Amino acid sequence: MYRGDLISRITATSMFAAGSRDLNLTSFNSADKATNLQRARTKVLEASKAGAKLIVLPECFNSPYGTQFFPKYAEKLLPSPPSSDDSPSFHALSAVAKEANAFLIGGSIPEYSPETEKYYNTSLTFSPSGALIATHRKTHLFDIDIPGKIKFKESDVLSPGNKVTIVDIPEYGKVGIAICYDVRFPELAMIAARKGCFALIYPGAFNMTTGPLHWSLQARARAMDNQVYVALCSPARDMEATYHAWGHSLVADPNAEVLAEMDEKEGIAYVELNGEKIDDIRRGIPIYSQRRFDVYPDISEGKVKYEE
């Protein structure tokens, strides 16, 4: 199920990095894509020099977050690999993954598909050789309306992805990858955990209303339900932007304890992820052997899509 020392590194409020012995989170993004890509490269290399071997960036790390920005910043990813003109972010991520000699979960970027004429919120994962090894299009779109607080409708521009994304990280094991609002749907997490994932990773950008209410709660709930590590990686907060991210990138352990939580600013935290802790928690609270699939179904054995 998991192999080796499970360790990661999170560069605080905008990037998640996991490495041989720790976890790391950080933050950046502006209105200038080239600046964002260069900032991402700097932070990825900083994390890798500190020993990170699995590095994760935040949702929409290359652009501002907002329906008005998605079309302007969208890149063509298909056919793969795209040209550097069609997707400078793809090539920047591939190059820095190779330079860092690390696995890189590239947060997410806006994607445009000429074939479907649709826009997506898409996460790309690269190997240390710079090869693309996983793609996840945000499965659940952020459509909410809290009177007097916030109204946001991603579906005005974006279309949803249609699959569960699990990627095998050599020497470590499997991780489940999803994006932001996906964390509110426990089915994705249950399926990934029951298929052997040791960690669930969510680049995300909760806001100033839902962040204080549910950001940490959702991470701890998914960790508790599945007895795995959960990492949420947010952009840092920019009060001059049109969308104010909550920040607070964090990692919860299989016992639902928060191992590290950043504030709203950019920073770096280091957390060790240990596979033995998963085993210990599951031995102490053996929900995996206590489930009653004679009473209710195992959704991981049902009709699950792993391909678009």
Question: Which of 43, 53, 138, 174 does the annotation list as catalytic?
Answer: 138
Q: Is 233 assigned a catalytic role?
A: no
Q: What is the pLDDT of residue 118?
A: 98
Q: What is the pLDDT of residue 13?
A: 36
The pLDDT tens digits for 145-193 are 999 999 999 999 999 999 999 999 988 899 999 999 999 999 999 999 9
The pLDDT tens digits for 19-58 are 333 445 545 556 889 999 999 999 999 988 988 888 889 9
The CA dihedral of 20, 22, 28, 32, to the nearest 10 degrees, is: 10
Q: State the pairing for strand pair 250-252/229-233.
A: antiparallel
Q: Is 240 assigned a catalytic role?
A: no
How far apart, in whole angstroms, are the C-alpha atoms of residue 70 and residue 206? 17
Among 13-22, 41-50, 263-272, which stretch is predicted with the lowest mean pLDDT? 13-22
Question: Which of 46, 53, 180, 197 does the annotation list as catalytic?
Answer: 180
Q: Is 138 assigned a catalytic role?
A: yes
Question: Which of 33, 43, 53, 59 does the annotation list as catalytic?
Answer: 59
Query: 181 and 203 in contact (C-beta within 8 Å)?
Result: no
